Amino acid sequence: MAHPSQLSFQDAASPIMEELLHFHDHTLMAVFLISTLVLYIITIMMTTKLTNTNSMDAQEIEMVWTIMPAIILIMIALPSLRILYLMDEVNDPHLTIKAIGHQWYWSYEYTNYEDLSFDSYMIPTNDLTPGQFRLLEVDNRMVVPMESPTRLLVTAEDVLHSWAVPSLGVKTDAIPGRLNQTSFIATRPGVFYGQCSEICGANHSFMPIVVEAVPLADFESWSSSMLEA
């Protein structure tokens, strides 16, 4: 969960999000080094009038500032491609959930169970209890077992939506007539919040997503109670 005055990302709750955080730090360091070098050259040019000397026309310098950007791009591209392939992999999921976007709420269908499906609406501000978050709490959370590969099928019934939970490193567009697929593994128990990340209409900001990761035994108890209800 984000907190006031937070400068960085939310704490990672999945291996993919941990990889994304490492890649962000890696890329940010490259940007920092480039910015420092450019600022240094600009400062030298302004203070010593380097442009009036022949050193700026040297072939060695031309080679350096042609080859170095190519090397930096490769250093950024290779980790990026690796993470993209990891995000697309779905290896033997233990649970498959179908998320359907509506104006303006989410529906969830647990395809491993015959009759386990429900709608997830935002709780109005007047109905919140102490400790609940405004505009983020829902009446029915999407419960998943922790440390279990979960496949998520995302679609929409009316307009474009986007199912996004930052802590899990998941952001998948929900497109009417199309089924998108992603996966995640919740590595720790907790409640993780997200929101629709597509401008889908007047109540776009009022269709939150809440994922609760629990131990397998608790998940089985929850699923049994939902099926009985």
Q: What is the pLDDT of residues 55-107, one digit of tens each?
A: 555 677 778 888 888 998 999 999 999 998 888 887 789 999 999 999 999 99
Q: What is the pLDDT of residue 205?
A: 87
Q: Which domain holds residue 49?
A: 15-88
Q: Are residues 173 and 189 in the same domain?
A: yes
Mean pLDDT (the chain) is 89
Q: Are residues 212 and 164 in the same domain?
A: yes
Q: What is the pLDDT of residue 9?
A: 85
Q: What is the pLDDT of residue 38?
A: 87
Determine the angle formed by the axes of helices 59-88 and 15-48, rounding to 10 degrees.
160
- What is the C-alpha to C-alpha distance for residues 211 and 88, in angstroms, rounded to an integer? 20
Q: Are residues 117 and 71 in the same domain?
A: no
Q: Tell me, yes or no, whether 144 lies in a domain.
A: yes
Cβ neighbours, 10 Å, residue 65: 10
pLDDT digits (tens, 9 = 90+) for 114-154: 889 999 999 999 999 998 899 999 999 999 999 999 999 99
Among 66, 88, 110, the domain boundary falls at 88
Among 88, 109, 126, the domain boundary falls at 88
DSSP 86-139: HHH---S-SEEEEEEEETTEEEEEETTSSS-EEEE-BPPGGGPPTTPPTTT-BS
Q: Tell me, yes or no, whether 8 lies in a domain.
A: no
- The answer on pLDDT for 54 being more than 80 is no
Q: What is the pLDDT of residue 1?
A: 61
Q: What is the CATH number of the domain that holds 185?
A: 2.60.40.420
Q: Tell me, yes or no, whether 3 lies in a domain.
A: no
Q: Tell me, yes or no, whether 10 lies in a domain.
A: no
Q: Please tell me the least confidently modeled range out of 5-9, 29-33, 118-122, 124-128.
A: 5-9
- The answer on pLDDT for 52 being more than 70 is no
Q: Give the largest CA-CA distance in the chain.
A: 83
Q: Are residues 61 and 136 in the same domain?
A: no
Q: Are residues 213 and 168 in the same domain?
A: yes
Among 35, 57, 88, the domain boundary falls at 88
Q: What is the pLDDT of residue 47?
A: 80
Assign 217 a pLDDT band (cuts: 50, 70, 90): very high
Could you tell me what percent of the chain has a pLDDT over 90? 66
Q: Tell me, yes or no, whether 143 lies in a domain.
A: yes
Query: 171: closest CA among 161, 183, 163, 180?
Result: 163
Q: Are residues 78 and 119 in the same domain?
A: no
Q: What is the pLDDT of residue 55?
A: 52
Q: Are residues 183 and 122 in the same domain?
A: yes
Q: Are residues 133 and 219 in the same domain?
A: yes
Q: Tell me, yes or no, whether 154 lies in a domain.
A: yes
Q: Are residues 80 and 145 in the same domain?
A: no
Q: Are residues 138 and 75 in the same domain?
A: no
CB-based contact 97:141 (threshold 8 Å): no
Q: Tell me, yes or no, whether 6 lies in a domain.
A: no
The domain total for the chain is 2
Q: Are residues 82 and 101 in the same domain?
A: no
Q: Tell me, yes or no, whether 222 lies in a domain.
A: yes
CB-based contact 164:109 (threshold 8 Å): no
> Of 3 and 72, which is predicted with more confidence?
72
> Considering the entire predicted model, what is its pTM?
0.84
Q: Are residues 166 and 145 in the same domain?
A: yes
